[in-house]
C-alpha cells in the first residue's frame, strides 16, 4: 500500500514554479487516468476486520446481518463490502438464488447425502406442496441467500405439509386440530425441529405411511403430557 501511496503523492513540477503531489495535478496531464486508477487501487487495498466468535462466523445469515448493519451505520456500499467478506458469498443475483434454492430440495428428496427422505415412495402431492411452501418461506430464502445449511428448514416444512394434510382429514371440532395447529406454528417459528432431521437413525428405512404415524403419535404424546 505504501508504494502506491508514494506514487500518487510524489511531488512533481509539471507546471513551472508549481510543485504539488501528483494526485492533485490532473489538468492537462496525459496520465491523469493512471493516477485515478492508482488511487482506486489504493482504496481497494484497505480492509476492516470485525472479529466474532467461531460459532457466529459459521452462521452465514448472522454474518450478513452484521455486514449489512455496519454498512448502514457508516453509509457504506453493501455490494463493495460483500466483495471483501471471507468464506460467505452474499453477492447472489435472483437467477443464482433460484438455482441454488432448487439444489437443496433435490438433495433432500432424492439423496441420502443431503440428509433427505428415507422413503422409497413419497406422494407427489406432498413433494409438490413442499416445493410450494419453500418458495414462500422467508427463512428458507434467507438461508439460500446467505449460503447457510437449509436441510433442517426443509425437513421442518416437510413435516408441516404432512400435518396440514392430516388436519384436512379431521372434523373441524376434533381436539387434535388445535394440537396440529400448535405443532405447525412451532415448526414454522423454528422452536421445534423436524423429527426427520432430529431422529435420523430412528426414521431410517421406513415407509412414508410409517413416518406419518410417527408424527401423529408424537402429537398424542404431547397431548398426554398436558
List, in order, residues 6 or more apart from 107 with CB less than 8 Å away: 113, 114, 115, 116, 151
Share of the chain above pLDDT 70, in %: 69
Q: What is the pLDDT of residues 58-87, one digit of tens each?
A: 888 888 889 889 988 988 877 778 777 888
**pLDDT (0 to 100) of residue 174:** 79
**pLDDT (0 to 100) of residue 182:** 92
Does the predicted model carry a pTM greater than 0.85?
no
Beta bridge partners of 11: 21
Q: Closest by alpha carbon to 68, among 58, 57, 82, 54? A: 82
Return d(Cα 165, Cα 162) in angstroms, integer. Answer: 5
> Rounded to the nearest 10 degrees, what angle do helices 208-225 and 176-189 cross at?
100
Return d(Cα 59, Cα 138) in angstroms, integer. Answer: 17
Buried b / exposed e across 89-119, counting CB within 10 Å, b at 16+?
A: ebebeeeeeeebbeebbebbbeeeebbbbbb
Q: Is the pLDDT of residue 141 over 70?
A: yes
**pLDDT (0 to 100) of residue 103:** 81
Q: What is the pLDDT of residues 182-221, one digit of tens each?
A: 999 999 998 888 887 777 656 677 888 989 998 888 887 6
The full set of domain ranges for the chain reads 2-45, 54-84, 94-225
**pLDDT (0 to 100) of residue 187:** 93
Mean pLDDT calculated for residue range 129-141: 88
Count of beta carbons in the 10 Å neighbourhood of residue 157: 26
**pLDDT (0 to 100) of residue 23:** 59
Mean pLDDT calculated for residue range 40-53: 73
DSSP-derived letter for residue 67 is H
Q: Of residues 96 and 101, which shows the higher confidence score?
A: 101
Amino acid at each position: 500500500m505504501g508504494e502506491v501511496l508514494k506514487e500518487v503523492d510524489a511531488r512533481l513540477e509539471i507546471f513551472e514554479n508549481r510543485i504539488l503531489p501528483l494526485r492533485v495535478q490532473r489538468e492537462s496531464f496525459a496520465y491523469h487516468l493512471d493516477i485515478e486508477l492508482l488511487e482506486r487501487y489504493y482504496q481497494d487495498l484497505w480492509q476492516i476486520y470485525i472479529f466474532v466468535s467461531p460459532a457466529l462466523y459459521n452462521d452465514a445469515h448472522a454474518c450478513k446481518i452484521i455486514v449489512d448493519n455496519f454498512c448502514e451505520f457508516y453509509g457504506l456500499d453493501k455490494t463493495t463490502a460483500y466483495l471483501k467478506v471471507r468464506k460467505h458469498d452474499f453477492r447472489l443475483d435472483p437467477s443464482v438464488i433460484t438455482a441454488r434454492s432448487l439444489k437443496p430440495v433435490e438433495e433432500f428428496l432424492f439423496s441420502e447425502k443431503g440428509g433427505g427422505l428415507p422413503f422409497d415412495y413419497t406422494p407427489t402431492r406432498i413433494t409438490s406442496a413442499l416445493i410450494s411452501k419453500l418458495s414462500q418461506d422467508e427463512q428458507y430464502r434467507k438461508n439460500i441467500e446467505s449460503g447457510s445449511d437449509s436441510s433442517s428448514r426443509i425437513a421442518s416444512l416437510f413435516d408441516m405439509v404432512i400435518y396440514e394434510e392430516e388436519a384436512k382429514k379431521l372434523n373441524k371440532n376434533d381436539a387434535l386440530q388445535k394440537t396440529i395447529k400448535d405443532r405447525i406454528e412451532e415448526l414454522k417459528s423454528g422452536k421445534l425441529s423436524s423429527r426427520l432431521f432430529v431422529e435420523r437413525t430412528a426414521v431410517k428405512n421406513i415407509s412414508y405411511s410409517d413416518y406419518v404415524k410417527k408424527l401423529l403419535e408424537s402429537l398424542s404424546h404431547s397431548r398426554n403430557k398436558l
